[in-house]
Chain A
Amino acid sequence: MRNLLLVILRFGGFLLFLFLELLSFFLIVQFNQEQQAIFNNSWANFTGSIDQGIHNAIGYTHLRRANDSLAAVNARLYEEVLSYRELVDGLERDSLYPSNLDSLLIDTVYQLIPASVIRNSISEHHNYLLLDKGSADGVGPNMGVILDQGIVGIVRSVGRHHALVMSILHRQSHPSASIKGTNYFGSLTWKEKDPRILLLENVPRHATPEKGDTIITSGYSLIFPKGIPIGTIQQVDSSDGGSDTYNIWVKLFADLASLDRVYVVKKSTQQEQEDLVQQARDE
């Protein structure tokens, strides 16, 4: 006790200084937006590089599985390319071939940026992922993150070599999805129970969802391309107190608990579309 008192007397000034500086630092980070952003960014970079290191160290264990799935994706894509090529070929021979088809095709170009997930959570209310690609690789805020079978989330903020993605397993995530073969759509939300089951809300009554139907992205949001398969209908709740919408439980194709390779969707016209929407809002 005596010794402790002596220490406090001896180093009292320094301890007080340290304490008050920490207090100031806390105040700065807590109440000044700019400084808070810098702090968060640095913190994300720091933890990101640690996660990256761990990922690098144990990443090779997944190589085999990653290879297999990449090969499968390649094959499917090649098939799709072939079918489109045939389609375009047929159109060219058609006398009604529209002269502006080329510009139409170019308008819908998506660029996919492959990325690895280096941090992932599925257990909290607000789940985020961290990717190993950032602004240096062309990733920007509000871009969608997808798999070949399913959607993962939306990029919230980017550093130079990392991107923070709001998972679809997040309270505030409401991507738009529709029932394959129809134009009826609703918003997909997570009910915080099972990371494989999401709820498709606000589907109008006159739609006829059946168990086993496929749910795809609607393309109405500016973020995800149209037609990515998300999951299948597991159950349709219609007895919801006389409301005029269905609630549909969707079982995801993708297992969000074990993500490795994902694609960030960069849409060439995304900025333009966002500008238009913004303009419309401003008016």
Chain B
Amino acid sequence: MNNNLVLTNVFRFFGLLLLQGLVFRRMEFDSGVWSYIHVLIYPLFIFLLPLRTPRPLVIGAAFAMGILVDLFYYSPGIHASAATFLGFIRPVVLGWLEPRGGYNVNYSPTRARFGNNWFLGYSAILLAIHLFWYFSAEAFTFVFIGRILLNTLLSFIVSFFFIFVYMKVFDPQD
């Protein structure tokens, strides 16, 4: 990994953390359909880590991101738990979506490198997994599975929209 790539990801880490903690945390309302929606955009950092990042580093970075987001949300452990699982499951999802020729491990899994459709599928799967784990950890019981699924679905739609916008605006190579 060259220094540039490390720097890019460090910047993205703090950029998304602050965006999440200062902007999207405030987009939560108590009434109506909005009460089901948490806009989570920080998982994008984990989506975009370079392909050759060592697995323990992905998991560790994901945990760090989660626990820092938890500081903003006053919910120690909940985001951290979901993010850690996301870091763990990422290689599995990458395995499902592997192109015929295999990955070029010097790339990052971005829209610019692998195309729009590939990236949409990749980020949709990961985001859904992340949100489901997050809302399950928040409810801490599967008694309210209906509510968990509704939370996941509605939050998915809005979060995915913002992730899409982010990728359109910045369109990072790596």
Check B59 against A31 for contact (C-beta < 8 Å).
no
Give the secondary structure class of A's interface. Answer: helix
Check A24 against B55 for contact (C-beta < 8 Å).
no
Check A20 against B63 for contact (C-beta < 8 Å).
yes
Check B55 against A25 for contact (C-beta < 8 Å).
no
The 10 closest A-B pairs by CB, nearest first: A27-B77, A24-B81, A13-B55, A28-B77, A17-B88, A35-B140, A27-B76, A24-B77, A31-B76, A24-B80
Does B60 touch A at the CB level, under 8 Å?
yes
Contact A21 to B84, CB < 8 A, known contacts A16-B59, A28-B140, A38-B140: yes
Contact A32 to B75, CB < 8 A, known contacts A13-B56, A38-B140, A38-B141: yes
Q: Quick one: CB contact mask for B39-76 with A, threshold 8 Å, 1 for yes?
A: 00000000000000001101110010011001000011
Instruction: List 5 other contacts, CB 8 Å, given A27-B67, A28-B140, A29-B77.
Output: A13-B55, A17-B88, A20-B60, A24-B67, A27-B77
Check B77 against A20 for contact (C-beta < 8 Å).
no
Supply 8 A–B pairs (Cβ within 8 Å), ascending by A.
A17-B87, A21-B84, A24-B77, A25-B77, A28-B77, A30-B76, A32-B77, A42-B141
Check A14 against B88 for contact (C-beta < 8 Å).
yes
Does B128 touch A at the CB level, under 8 Å?
no
For window 213-263 of chain A, which residues contact chain B by CB distance below 8 Å?
A: none
Check A28 against B59 for contact (C-beta < 8 Å).
no
Which A residues lie at the B interface, using CB under 8 A?
12-14, 16-17, 20-21, 23-32, 34-35, 38-39, 42
Does B37 touch A at the CB level, under 8 Å?
no
Contact A12 to B55, CB < 8 A, known contacts A27-B77, A27-B80, A28-B77: yes
Complex Cα distance, B78 from A13, in Å, reads: 20
Total interface residues on B, CB under 8 Å, equals: 23
Taking each of A29, A30, A35, A42, which has the highest tally of chain B beta carbons within 10 Å of its own beta carbon? A35
Check B140 against A34 for contact (C-beta < 8 Å).
yes
* B60 / chain A contacts, CB cutoff of 8 Å: 16, 20
Complex Cα distance, B137 from A165, in Å, reads: 29
Check A17 against B85 for contact (C-beta < 8 Å).
yes
- Contact partner of B59 (CB less than 8 A), chosen from A20, A30, A35, is A20
Residue ID in chain B nearest A9 by CB atoms: B56
For window 79-114 of chain B, which residues contact chain A by CB distance below 8 Å?
A: 80-81, 84-85, 87-88
* B81 / chain A contacts, CB cutoff of 8 Å: 21, 24-25, 28
* A28 / chain B contacts, CB cutoff of 8 Å: 75-78, 81, 137, 140
A148–chain B nearest beta-carbon distance, Å: 39
Complex Cα distance, B81 from A25, in Å, reads: 7
Complex Cα distance, B77 from A30, in Å, reads: 9
* A35 / chain B contacts, CB cutoff of 8 Å: 78, 138, 140
A16–chain B nearest beta-carbon distance, Å: 5
Residue ID in chain A nearest B77 by CB atoms: A27
Contact A13 to B59, CB < 8 A, known contacts A21-B85, A27-B76, A31-B76: yes
